[in-house]
Amino acid sequence: MSSKILEDMRDVMRRRHYSIRTERSYCAWVKRFVLHFNMKSRDDLSEGEKKIETYLTFLARDRNVAPSTQNQALNAIVFLYKHVLRIELGDFSHMERAKRPERLPTVMTKTERLAVF
């Protein structure tokens, strides 16, 4: 099933003049999504919002991906549903998002600053 969906997705992306890198990236995310739920047919893609939210939560919690990675996965899967399958999805603002790691600023003491100069 995934090869037919990926073929359809590539066709739509090429008609819309997406870059080859975007095409490869989106197809890879859709393939991971399909394999994650062990989907065998297009009927398995039903209940899209619930599955998308579950998958993106899995990425954030278990795979510990960066927020930009999670966003890319979301964009790829939403593209599949919206433009390939022509299924409108709801809002994903309530789902769990990956968190950016807290970065503490590097602060030098007065003696360290003087040593630099």
Query: What DSSP character marks residue 42?
Result: G
Residue 1 — pLDDT band, cuts 50, 70, 90? Answer: low
Domain that holds residue 22: 2-116
Q: Inform me whether the pLDDT recorded for 39 exceeds 90.
A: no
pTM recorded for the entire structure: 0.79
- What is the CATH number for 107? 1.10.150.130
pLDDT digits (tens, 9 = 90+) for 66-88: 989 999 999 999 999 999 999 88
Query: What DSSP character marks residue 96?
Result: -
As a whole-number percent, the residues of the chain with pLDDT over 90 amount to: 52
Nearest Cα to 51, choosing from 106, 98, 23, 92?
92
Q: Per the structure, how many domains does the chain have?
A: 1
- Give CA–CA dist 11/73, Å, rounded: 19
Q: Count of residues for the chain?
A: 117
